[in-house]
Structure 1
Amino acid sequence: MKSLVLFLMMTAALGWAQEETQNGVTLTITLENVLNAQGDILAALHTQDTFMKGPGVANYKSVAQKGQMTFTFSNVTPGTYGVSVLHDLNQNMRMDYQSNGMPTEPYGMSGNDMSMGPPSFDAISFEVGTGDQEIAIRF
Structure 2
Amino acid sequence: MPWSPPDNPPVVADARLDPYRERAGHLFRGADQVGAVYIRVETWWTEIGGRLWWRRWSEPEEGVHGFLVDKGGAITDFLLDAEHLDDELADWNQGRFMYRGEVLHVSWLDDDASQRVRVETLGLDPLDE
TM-score, length of structure 2 as denominator length: 0.27
Greater relative contact order structure (CA < 8 Å, 6+ sep):
1
Larger radius of gyration: 1
Please give the TM-score of this superposition, normalised by the length of structure 1: 0.26
